[in-house]
């Protein structure tokens, strides 16, 4: 009998990774990135400026890579939590395909490249906002808020809400009331989106020790807060009409989308305590994604129309 | 002195090749973007420098 299982030693040779490029792409949270790219682009195209199209593309790419880098830093720090949650256990770090140090280095290097590229190609205000977003998400949200308060995703939501402000700043070099309105819409949208998920994943969050609202304040209080935030989101979705950022056509779309959002939140509010299937919460979670994409698509359509057909109505 | 060298497995070699190609493509894309972005940013004045 051999003293050592050499086949096994060869399979797990130390220091040699089996991580593929796909694993590193997964570290960037591509689905979150798609929302970031889209909202940043809408912020950029809604701005009262016409940047060079190539510079605009590079700016959006830099914002996307910066957001992805903060996702990699999040996966590095949260590997212990991710390992005990079914939804995240197969992520590259908890699954052992990417070493924690590799994920950290990947996140830091990409963050630096994204911020410097945005600064050199667009402007340093946009770069500073991107750097703030990365630090806020990776340090303030991931390392501090997520494990310490049930308001984690409310405050942490600011990081996810900043991309349109960065896009606007990349185009104009300024932060304005209109770009802050886009921030407000995403900021208010974040709690109902994540708390709807937390309602039907409460057990997993509890097992991981993450103090989400349903685990700390209970399902009933969470359903009430979901409803309040959804109403506020629907109302904030109409504000771009009031400031002149968007026209009445956008207003009609925002009104219909908001009504659908509030209706689904109402069904969550009316959900019985004994409801284990939680279909209304799952429906609200799915609709919240559609709501944000459709609302920003309407803003984008409005901005494009305003550029193509200038007139007093837009 | 004889050293015991680690012999990479097939899977490790394949993964390394995959990572190397992706890194090369990402670097090439970055260089092209910075070049084109610089030209776009500087515009027609790219070659006019005070002597």
* Interface residue ranges in chain B relative to chain A, Cβ cutoff 8 Å: 6-9, 11-12, 15-16, 18-19, 21-23, 30, 33-34, 36-37, 40-41
Picking from B4, B12, B18, B39 by the largest number of A CB atoms within 10 A of its own CB, the best residue to mutate is: B12
Q: Tell me which residue in A13, A21, A55 faces B6 most closely, judged by beta carbons.
A: A13
Name chain A contacts of B9, Cβ cutoff 8 Å: 10-11, 13, 16
Picking from A4, A9, A14, A54 by the largest number of B CB atoms within 10 A of its own CB, the best residue to mutate is: A54
Picking from A16, A25, A61, A173 by the largest number of B CB atoms within 10 A of its own CB, the best residue to mutate is: A16
3-state secondary structure of A140: helix
Name chain B contacts of A18, Cβ cutoff 8 Å: 11-12, 15
3-state secondary structure of A137: helix
Residue A141's closest CA among A119, A161, A165?
A161
Query: Shortest Cα distance from B2 to chain A (angstroms)?
Result: 18
Condensed to tens digits (0 to 9), the pLDDT of residues A9-67 reads 444 455 688 899 999 999 999 999 999 999 999 999 999 998 899 999 999 999 999 99
3-state secondary structure of B9: coil
Residues A26/A198/A215/A82 CA torsion (nearest 10 deg): -10
Q: Tell me which residue in B7, B16, B40 faces A52 most closely, judged by beta carbons.
A: B40
| Rounded-to-integer distance, Cα A83 and Cα A96, Å | 10
| Rounded-to-integer distance, Cα A219 and Cα A278, Å | 11
Is any Cβ of chain B less than 8 angstroms from the Cβ of A124?
no
Task: List the pLDDT tens digit at each of the 314 positions of chain A.
Answer: 344 444 444 444 556 888 999 999 999 999 999 999 999 999 999 999 988 999 999 999 999 999 999 999 999 999 999 999 888 999 999 999 999 999 999 999 999 999 999 999 999 999 999 999 999 999 999 999 999 999 999 999 999 999 999 999 999 999 999 999 999 999 999 999 999 999 998 888 888 888 999 999 999 999 999 999 999 999 999 999 999 999 999 999 999 999 999 999 999 999 988 888 889 999 999 999 999 999 999 999 999 998 887 655 44
ipTM of the complex model: 0.84
| Rounded-to-integer distance, Cα A91 and Cα A87, Å | 9
| Domains of chain A, first to last | 1-173 (1.10.357.140), 176-314 (1.20.120)
- Interacting residues of A244 by C-beta distance below 8 A, sequence separation 6+: none
A17 vs B22: CB contact, 8 Å cut-off?
no
| Rounded-to-integer distance, Cα A164 and Cα A155, Å | 17
| Rounded-to-integer distance, Cα A229 and Cα A150, Å | 15
């Amino acid at each position: 009998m051999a003293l050592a299982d050499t086949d096994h030693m060869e399979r797990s040779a130390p220091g040699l990774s089996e991580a593929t490029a796909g694993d590193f792409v997964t570290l960037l949270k591509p689905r979150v990135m798609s929302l970031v790219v889209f909202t940043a682009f809408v912020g950029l195209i809604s701005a009262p400026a016409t940047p060079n199209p190539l510079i605009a593309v590079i700016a959006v790419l830099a914002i996307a890579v910066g957001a992805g880098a903060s996702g990699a830093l999040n996966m590095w720090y949260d590997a212990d939590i991710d390992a005990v949650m079914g939804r995240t256990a197969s992520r590259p770090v908890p699954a052992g395909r990417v070493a924690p140090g590799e994920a950290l280095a990947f996140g830091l290097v990409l963050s630096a490249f994204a911020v410097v590229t945005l600064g050199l190609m667009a402007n340093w205000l946009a770069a500073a906002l991107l750097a703030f977003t990365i630090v806020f998400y990776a340090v303030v949200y991931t390392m501090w808020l997520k494990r310490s308060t049930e308001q984690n995703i409310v405050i942490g939501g600011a990081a996810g809400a900043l991309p349109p402000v960065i896009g606007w700043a990349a185009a104009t070099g300024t932060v304005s009331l209109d770009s802050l309105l886009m921030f407000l819409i995403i900021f208010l949208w974040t709690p109902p989106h994540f708390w709807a998920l937390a309602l039907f994943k409460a057990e997993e969050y509890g097992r991981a020790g993450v103090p989400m609202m349903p685990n700390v304040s209970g399902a009933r209080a969470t359903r009430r807060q979901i409803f309040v935030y959804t109403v506020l989101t629907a109302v904030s979705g109409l504000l771009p009409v009031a400031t002149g950022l968007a026209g009445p056509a956008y207003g009609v779309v925002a009104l219909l989308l908001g009504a659908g959002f509030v209706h689904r939140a109402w069904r969550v509010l009316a959900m019985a305590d004994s409801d284990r299937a939680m279909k209304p919460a799952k429906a609200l979670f799915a609709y919240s994604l559609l709501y944000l994409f459709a609302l920003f698509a309407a803003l984008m359509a409005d901005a494009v129309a305003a550029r193509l057909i200038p007139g007093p109505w837009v | 002195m004889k050293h015991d060298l680690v012999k990479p497995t097939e899977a490790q070699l394949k993964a390394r090749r995959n990572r190397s190609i992706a890194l090369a493509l990402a670097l090439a894309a970055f260089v092209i973007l910075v070049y084109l972005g610089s030209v776009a940013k500087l515009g027609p004045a790219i070659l006019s420098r005070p002597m």
